[in-house]
Amino acid sequence: MENVILTVHLILALLLIGVVLLQRSEGGGLGMGGGGGGGGVMSGRQAANALSKLTWIFAVGFIITSISLTALAARKATGNSVVDQATTQEPATDAAPALPDVTMPPALTDAPLTPPPAN
């Protein structure tokens, strides 16, 4: 469930960024440049209203998924703070951790110093 909400949240974030960048700003914007003429399907004013409504829809969805993710995280939380967990842990001992029993290869000093005689 949490993964589904997180995926929707990320998609909404990307869509929200895209719609905001398409909107016309005071200086011209990225996507709605050009003149008002040209016989497009939507006028500049209608496109601005549609993008504004779409921005609101994506923003509301983003906020809802944010609150949902926060509620899910709070439900999973244990209730102890990180500081409480750090102070209640057992102190570290000075003993080294036990190493696994591994057979080591012979040391170089165990090898013969002279080569075997040739036949």
User: Does residue 12 have a pLDDT over 60?
Assistant: yes
Asked if the structure places residue 33 within a domain, the reply is: no
Asked if the structure places residue 15 within a domain, the reply is: yes
Asked if the structure places residue 67 within a domain, the reply is: yes
User: Does residue 6 have a pLDDT over 80?
Assistant: yes
Asked if the structure places residue 115 within a domain, the reply is: no
Q: What is the pLDDT of residues 16-60, one digit of tens each?
A: 999 999 887 655 555 555 554 555 565 667 767 888 899 999 999
Asked if the structure places residue 119 within a domain, the reply is: no
Q: What is the mean pLDDT of residues 81-109?
A: 68
Which of 29, 55, 59, 58 has its CA nearest to residue 44? Answer: 29
Asked if the structure places residue 89 within a domain, the reply is: no
Range of the domain at 63: 1-20+48-76
Asked if the structure places residue 65 within a domain, the reply is: yes
Asked if the structure places residue 42 within a domain, the reply is: no
User: How many domains does the chain fold into?
Assistant: 1
What percentage of the chain reaches a pLDDT higher than 70?
Answer: 59
